[in-house]
Each structure stands twice: as C-alpha cells, then as structure tokens.
A and B are shown apart, each in its own frame.
Chain A
Amino acid sequence: MKIGVVSCSGEDCLGGTISRLATRKMLDEIRPDETVTICLPLYLAGGEEERGFAQNFPTITVDGCSKQCAKRATEKYSGKVSAALDIADVIGKETAEECSLSTRDMTEKHREMVNKVAKEISKKFDAVVMDYNKRVLAGIEKSGKEPEGGCGCGCSK
C-alpha cells in the first residue's frame, strides 16, 4: 500500500521548511515502505510520474502556511486529496510564518517541531490507510478480484 505525501515548496516561511523536513522524515524513517513523496515543482511542471501517481493513489498534502499550495495544486491536477495538514495548526500560525530557515541553522527547537508535525502526518497517514483498506476489502467482496495497489520503496532518488 502506497500513499503519496505532497509537501509545499516551503520557500516563504519557517512552516515551509518544517513541512519539507517532516515529509522527508515520513519517507526516511516513519513509513519508508509506504510513503512516496511527490515533488511539487515537478508535479506543477507536468511531471508524468508525479501526476500519474497522485491520480491513482491516495495523497496527503502538507502545507507550511495558509496559502495551501500543495493542497490546491493536488486538487487541481488530481481531483482528490485524501487528507490535508496545515503546519500552522500544529506549531501555531505565528511560528509558521517566521522566516524561512536553512537546514544549516536548525536548532533543537526546530527538530522538535519537525517531529511533532511528522507525528501528525503519520496519524493522518494511518487513517488514510485504514480507510483505503476498508474500501479495498469491500472491493474484494463485490468483485472477487483484488484491486491493484502499489508496493515498494519510497521515492528518494
């Protein structure tokens, strides 16, 4: 079972940096076998693989601020978002809107934020998986044929 996680580009604010790092944490540590990260710039530029995946598999969007670029882009090109997270809801609006941060300047406080957000993403992740499995089971009962699903590793190239 694979789920796409779409993070915003994250250039404008601290929320964006945290969003990117928390998404990477999902792929690197928390759900390495089930996460596929969708590269948002490539997705917007027409990347066939990114768009194809998001059209056929559940996606979770993670946005650093209220502009919600990841969510809007995914809805525009793939028509559905299984779950959406706004970083501001986790770390607070004021903190999320602080200046963008270089990974060179990360502090323990920032790493804690990343962990906190990653935890929230994984909660949504698990809820999406459960929901997807229920629908898959319903599919098996009706048609007697197991729907295709993804499997394999994450997208870190």
Chain B
Amino acid sequence: MSRKVKVIPCSGIGKVYGLMARESVLKTVKDLCPGESDTVCLAYIVTGDKEAREMIAGKDCITLDGCPALCSKKNAELAGGIVRESLRVVDAFRRHKGAKPGTPTELTEEGWQIVDEIAGEIAGKVNKLNSEG
C-alpha cells in the first residue's frame, strides 16, 4: 500500500502566492521526493465521488496554502485528510522582506528562489513524516 505523503497546494489563482504554492509542491513531488510523496487536486477531492475522497481520507497530508485563507488546509480536512503540517507561502515572505516574486501568472527569479526554498522545507517534512512511519 502506498505510504506516500499527500502534499496539497492551495492552487489559488488570484494571487502570486497561489502560483508559488503550486510550483513548490510540484517541485517537491516531482523532483525532491518523487517516491515518498505525491499531490492530489484539491477541487477533485472536495467535489468528487467516493473514489476521489478515498485518495485522501485518513491519509497523512501536508498542506501548503498561499495565504492566510487556508483553503488547502480547510478543504483537505473537509475531504477527510489528516493534516499533519500546515504551511503558508506568506510566512516565507517574513524571511524575504521586500521580495518581488512576480504575478499570479509568472514568477520572477526571486519568486523561484523562494519556491525552491519552500520546496526544500516541505521535502524535509515529508522525510520526517515518513521516518515516523
């Protein structure tokens, strides 16, 4: 049975933080922890059928929200996921005051640097959760 940790971005389309959440998670599950994590589409697990909910119900999740609205955390919990870690992209900006990450459509070099940093942080948490196994 797959022991992969579900890493779920908020995928918000209105703010650059949503794009950064998405890109950070893609990097984590595709490049950094491909065997230990995967992602699910938030909207599918909330609006989907029983099969969709089984993808997440009772499973360990790490959520990455763009902003304090916490849509990923809320929706993952709504769908029955166990949110073990809840991260926010805006918190990364506390360490990068004055950074200009880009727009909700396209990131700057600075934005990508922060994405890579967040992805690294998530990868650390994935490994930690898996080692607790």
Contacts and interface: CB of A to CB of B under 8 A. Distances in A.
Interface stretch (A18-26, A124-132, A133-141): A18-26
A113 to B, nearest CB: 15
A1 interface: no
A102 B26 contact: yes
Interface of A: 7-12, 16, 20-21, 23-25, 28, 37, 39-42, 44-47, 67, 69-70, 72-73, 76, 100, 102-104, 155-157
B47 A104 contact: no
Contacts, number: 104
A39 to B, nearest CB: 5
Given A24-B104, A41-B71, A7 B13 contact: yes
A63 to B, nearest CB: 9
A41 B105 contact: no
B26 A9 contact: no
Contact of B47 (A7, A42, A76): A76
Contact of A40 (B13, B15, B27, B40): B13
Interface in B1-35: 9-15, 18-19, 22-23, 25-27, 30
A39 B25 CA distance: 18
Contact of A155 (B14, B42, B46, B106): B14
Nearest to B43: A69
Contact of A67 (B48, B69, B105): B48
A69 B30 CA distance: 23
